[in-house]
């Protein structure tokens, strides 16, 4: 079994947030607190340590007391750039990722991903959700991986590919389908921010 202390939680806050007007999304107020605080609150009890991946406002992110790491270059090439930076900096054998814009992430995220990873000796297990019509959706930025995948990811990125699902397909990977779709609700626009605040008040 993989113990909690062997897992680092990597919070992805390095995006451009263009649909939110280009501001730093992890720091926008959600129920009067920076959005990332809701993610820290849910993820911290599930892991041994936390890393924050951010490309702006590094000082403000560092006030949470966790290491803050940035992408290798500031081309904002997507979440895989955050994965790569996190894998390089990770002090433990496993890393689990969560985006800064999903404040209701499952409280059993790590438990279920770990169970799946152990069952099949997978290198990477990502979350999926089911919509009300029963269709399954990948939630690839919620993912547990072995830190030994760092080299594979470096190579993948160096070939110019940035598509997360294409990298997953190259690996010994699997998914866990979570019951609650709402736990993966993510805030991309000002409208979504208001809707989710109302729904979670």
Q: Which stretches of the chain bind ligand GTP, using CB under 6 A? A: 12-20, 25, 53, 71, 76-79, 81-82, 99-101, 141, 188
Q: Which of 24, 37, 71, 101 touches Mg ion by CB under 5 A?
A: 101
The verdict on whether residue 101 carries a ligand-binding annotation is: yes
| Binding window for Mg ion (CB under 5 A); candidates: 31-39, 73-81, 100-108, 124-132 | 100-108
Question: How far separated are the first and last CA of the chain, in Å rounded?
Answer: 37
Partners of 43 in the β-ladder: none
Compute the distance between CA of residue 53 and CA of residue 193 in angstroms, rounded to an integer: 21
Backbone angle region of 17, left / alpha / beta, with phi > 0 → left and psi within -120 to 50 → alpha: left
Name which of Mg ion, ligand GTP, none residue 53 binds, using a CB cut-off of 5 to 8 Å depending on partner kind.
ligand GTP
Rounded least distance, CB 177 to ligand GTP, Å: 20
- Using the rule CB under 5 A, is 78 a contact of Mg ion? no
CB 103 within 8 A of CB 187: yes
Q: What count of residues does the chain have?
A: 201
The verdict on whether residue 25 carries a ligand-binding annotation is: yes
Closest to ligand GTP by CB, 18 or 148: 18
Name which of ligand GTP, Mg ion, none residue 106 binds, using a CB cut-off of 5 to 8 Å depending on partner kind.
none
Closest CA to 53 of 21, 81, 91: 81
Beta-sheet strands, E only, within 55-149: 68-69, 94-99, 124-130, 136-146
Closest to ligand GTP by CB, 15 or 103: 15
CB 36 within 8 A of CB 13: yes
Annotated binding site: which residue ranges?
12-14, 25, 53, 71, 101
Residues that bind Mg ion in the complex, under the rule CB under 5 A: 101, 186, 188
């Amino acid at each position: 079994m993989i113990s909690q202390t062997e897992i680092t939680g990597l919070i992805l806050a390095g995006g451009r947030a263009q649909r939110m007007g280009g501001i730093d999304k992890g720091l926008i107020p959600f129920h009067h607190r920076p959005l990332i605080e809701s993610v820290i609150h849910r993820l911290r009890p599930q892991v041994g340590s936390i890393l924050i991946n951010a490309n702006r406002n590094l000082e403000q992110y560092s006030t949470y007391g966790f290491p803050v790491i940035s992408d290798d270059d500031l081309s904002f090439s997507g979440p895989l750039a955050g994965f790569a930076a996190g894998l390089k900096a990770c002090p433990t054998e496993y890393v689990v990722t969560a985006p800064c814009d999903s404040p209701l992430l499952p409280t059993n995220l790590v438990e279920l991903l770990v169970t799946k990873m152990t069952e099949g000796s997978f290198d990477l297990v990502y979350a999926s959700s089911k919509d009300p019509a029963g269709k399954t959706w990948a939630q690839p930025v919620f993912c547990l991986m072995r830190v030994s995948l760092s080299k594979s990811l470096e190579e993948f990125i160096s070939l110019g590919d940035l598509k997360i699902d294409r990298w997953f397909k190259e690996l010994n990977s699997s998914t866990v389908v979570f019951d609650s779709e709402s736990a993966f609700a993510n805030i991309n626009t000002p409208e979504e921010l208001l809707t989710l605040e109302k729904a979670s008040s």
